[in-house]
A and B are shown apart, each in its own frame.
Chain A
Amino acid sequence: MLFKRHGGVHPKDMKAPANETAISTIPQPPEVVIPLSQHIGAPCSPLVAVGDEVKLGQKIGEAKAPVSAPVHASVSGKVVKIEKRLNNLGNMVDAVIIENDFRDTPADTVVPASEEDLGDPEKLAQLIREAGIVGMGGATFPTAFKITSGWGKVDTVIINGAECEPYITSDHRTMLEHPEELLKGIQLIMRACKVDKAYFGIELNKAFAIDLLNFHGAKAMGIEIVPLKCQYPQGAEKTLIQTITGREVPPGGLPAAVGCAVFNTFTSYSVYRAAYEGMPAIERVVTVSGSAIAEPKNVLVRVGTPMQWVFEQTGGFQKEPFKIIMGGPMMGLAQYDLSVPCAKGTAALLAFAEDEDRTVENPTCIRCGQCLGACPMNLQPIYMYMYEEKGDIEMMQKLNLMDCVECGACTYICPGRLHLTHAFKTGKAKIQAYNAALKAKEEAEKAKAEAEKKEEK
Chain B
Amino acid sequence: MNEQKTLIVSSSPHIRTPRDTRAIMLDVLIALAPAFIASIVFFGWRPILVTAVSVASCVLFEFGYRKLMKKPDTYGDLSAAVTGVLLAFCLPPTAPWWLPVIGALFAIVIVKQLFGGIGKNFLNPALAGRAFLLASYAVLMTSWMPTNFQHVDAATFATPMASLHQGALAPVGLGAMLLGNVGGSIGEISSVALLLGGAYLVYRKVISLRIPLSFIGTVAVITLIFSRGNGHFAWMLQNIFSGGLLLGAIFMATDYCTSPVTPKGQIIFGVGCGLLTVLIRYFGSYPEGVSYAILIMNLTVWMIDKNTAPRRFGTEAKKPFAKLFAKKEKEAAK
Measured CB to CB, the residues of A under 8 A from B are: 6, 9, 11, 90, 166, 238, 242, 248-251, 253, 308, 320-325, 329-339, 350, 352, 356-362, 364-369, 372, 376-380, 382-383, 399-400, 403, 406, 408, 411-417, 419, 421-422, 425
Contacts and interface: CB of A to CB of B under 8 A. Distances in A.
Nearest to A12: B15
17 contacts: A238-B313, A308-B1, A330-B13, A330-B14, A334-B8, A334-B14, A364-B74, A364-B119, A367-B256, A378-B312, A399-B309, A412-B15, A415-B20, A416-B119, A419-B11, A421-B13, A422-B10
A332 B11 CA distance: 9
Contact of A415 (B4, B14, B17): B17
Contacts of B313: 6, 238, 242, 248-249, 251, 376-379, 403
Interface in B34-49: none
Say whether chain A's binding surface is mostly helix, strand, loop, or mixed.
loop
A11 B15 contact: yes
A369 B256 contact: yes
A352 B14 contact: yes
B305 interface: yes
Given A325-B12, A413-B17, 18 more contacts: A250-B314, A251-B312, A308-B1, A329-B13, A334-B11, A364-B77, A366-B256, A367-B257, A369-B260, A377-B313, A378-B310, A380-B261, A412-B13, A412-B17, A416-B21, A417-B20, A419-B11, A421-B11
B330 interface: no
B311 interface: yes
B13 A336 contact: no
B33 interface: no
Contacts of B11: 334, 419, 421-422, 425
A358 B12 contact: no
Contact of A323 (B7, B23, B315): B7
B175 interface: no
Which among A335, A336, A364, A380 has the highest number of chain B CB atoms within 10 Å? A364
Given A411-B13, A419-B11, A249 B314 contact: yes
B9 A336 contact: yes
A6 B310 contact: yes
B87 to A, nearest CB: 18
B185 interface: no
B13 A408 contact: yes
B14 A372 contact: no
B306 to A, nearest CB: 9
Contact of B12 (A336, A364, A400, A421): A421
A246 to B, nearest CB: 12
B72 interface: yes
B213 interface: no
B119 A372 contact: no
B18 interface: yes
Which residue, B6, B23, B314, has most C-beta atoms of chain A within 10 A? Answer: B314
Contacts of B261: 367-369, 372, 380, 382
A170 to B, nearest CB: 18
Contacts of B20: 358, 360, 415-417
A368 B263 CA distance: 12
Contacts of B314: 238, 248-251, 253
A11 B311 CA distance: 25
Contacts of A416: 20-21, 119
A148 B4 CA distance: 46
Interface string B163-199: 0000000000000000000000000000000000000
A380 B256 CA distance: 15
A278 B301 CA distance: 62
A403 B10 contact: no
A366 B8 CA distance: 27
A282 B23 CA distance: 47
B7 A324 contact: yes
A380 to B, nearest CB: 6
Contacts of B74: 364
Contacts of A376: 313
Nearest to A339: B1
Nearest to A253: B314
Given A329-B15, A338-B1, A366 B119 contact: yes
A379 B77 CA distance: 27
Contact of A330 (B12, B312, B315): B12
Contact of A331 (B5, B12, B23): B12
Interface in B293-312: 305, 309-312
Nearest to A381: B261
Nearest to B7: A336
Nearest to A413: B17
B102 interface: no
Contacts of A325: 12, 14
A415 B309 contact: no
Contacts of A415: 17, 19-21, 23-24
Contacts of A336: 6-7, 9
A387 to B, nearest CB: 12
A356 B15 contact: yes
A405 to B, nearest CB: 9
Given A336-B7, A380-B310, A329 B21 contact: no
A334 B10 contact: yes
A61 B263 CA distance: 52
Contact of B14 (A248, A250, A323): A323
Contact of B18 (A308, A358, A379): A358
B1 A406 contact: no
Interface string B253-295: 0001100111100000000000000000000000000000000
A37 to B, nearest CB: 21
A350 B14 CA distance: 10
B83 interface: no
B14 A368 contact: no
A72 to B, nearest CB: 28
Contacts of A413: 17
A90 B15 CA distance: 21
Contacts of A365: 119
Contacts of A408: 12-13
Contacts of A11: 15, 17
B13 A331 contact: yes
A366 B4 CA distance: 38
